Structure 1
Amino acid sequence: MRTRPTTTAAAALTAAVALMLSGCGGSDTGDSGKDEITGADTGASSSASPTAPAGGDGVDRPEVRLPEGDTLVFAPESTGDAEKDAVLKDNAEYLRSVDEAIGKQDPKSKAVAFYSKDAAYLGSVEWITGFVKDGVTVTGTVRYFDRKVHFSKDGSAGLTYCADESKGFTKDVKTGKVNVTEASKTSYVLYNDRLRKNDKGVWQTTKSTSERGSEVCQP
């Protein structure tokens, strides 16, 4: 199984910032650390490689490619409600962008910054950095299911969903060895995310909390 960060604690955010700043020292541009982590304060999409506009909404989104052997399944992919479907789609791309960044061993992924900001962005950078330090990537299949969107009066969206990681594993980057683990109660995770639409029309994940082994998600 594999995990994603829970970004509720201030200490986790502090650690994430420290990790990002330490990773900026090798830049040959002379830019400050703040410039390198634009998503921390703006969720900037800057110069991510664009693909064709998704869903006909006119937004140029970065092309996201999962690592070889990695599959993410989303259920449902759509609900028939255009606004809810936009939230589901952008959150799915956020999850995919994190896996792509792990595969590329790139904590400063522009796609991750495109689809997330604030606590979710900082937590993702921290998580990706952990994979890089451990020298592992992701492989196998993770299924995200029971995805439910709720809108708040302040314009943000709440998204709850479960993850089945029983067939998702880590893989050593150098040797290619897959670290296979047996399925257990902790292979199932309940997520509660918060998203907000930015001025480009992208629903960015701003916060993500999780409960591993949640009874709600057990098969």
Structure 2
Amino acid sequence: MKNAQDKPADYAFLEKAARNIGAADAKIIAASDIVVENRVSLKCRAGCISYGKKLTCPPYVPTPDEFRKILLEYHSALLVKFISPAEAEPDVICSIYKYWLDPAAPADKKEQAEKFWADHRTGTGSFAPAMLELERIAFNAGNPFALAFVNGSCRLCETCNTKGGICIHPTRARIPEHAVGVNMVATAEKAGMPIRFPVEGHPELMALLLID
């Protein structure tokens, strides 16, 4: 096996492939530069409406401690940035979940929040398939353990088969990075391709491909 420092040049074709399928930016990084924190998955439990409802989300996925051990078996990863076409006014985006879910929210704010999510879901529908395509490209280039992670919870089923405990789309469903504790804001910053947070204008979304 080649040394880890040789990997970025070997995998440069994946950066190009990512841009060709619509990514705003892409960069090969060392797997050791992926920032994993226990507090990230805590946010899933405390602030996400998908918690416990999807097999690709906690508590059904590896814990941050488990994922740290998995990362030790990888040398490299591809960090991918996508841009959502959705946009909301600053006073709406700062409380987007409240205006979206709270029945008592002002009608105009609720309408803007609903439009934001509709535009976001429509415009980002190709991002997960794009990451699967990058996984396929990496796999066929000789990386049998290539595995994509996606931004946002799985959208494949209206209701996930959590009661049965088995995903009915295992070849297409992928885990969001934050579900296993990846701090994507810190990881992107460390990689020299920072994202705007808090969100301004069009949200910048990060996805990850483990390669080796």
Asked which structure has the greater RCO (Cα within 8 Å, sep 6+), the reply is 2
User: Radius of gyration: which is bigger?
Assistant: 2
More strand by share: 1
More helix by share: 2
Task: Please give the TM-score of this superposition, normalised by the length of structure 1.
Answer: 0.27
Task: Please give the TM-score of this superposition, normalised by the length of structure 2.
Answer: 0.27
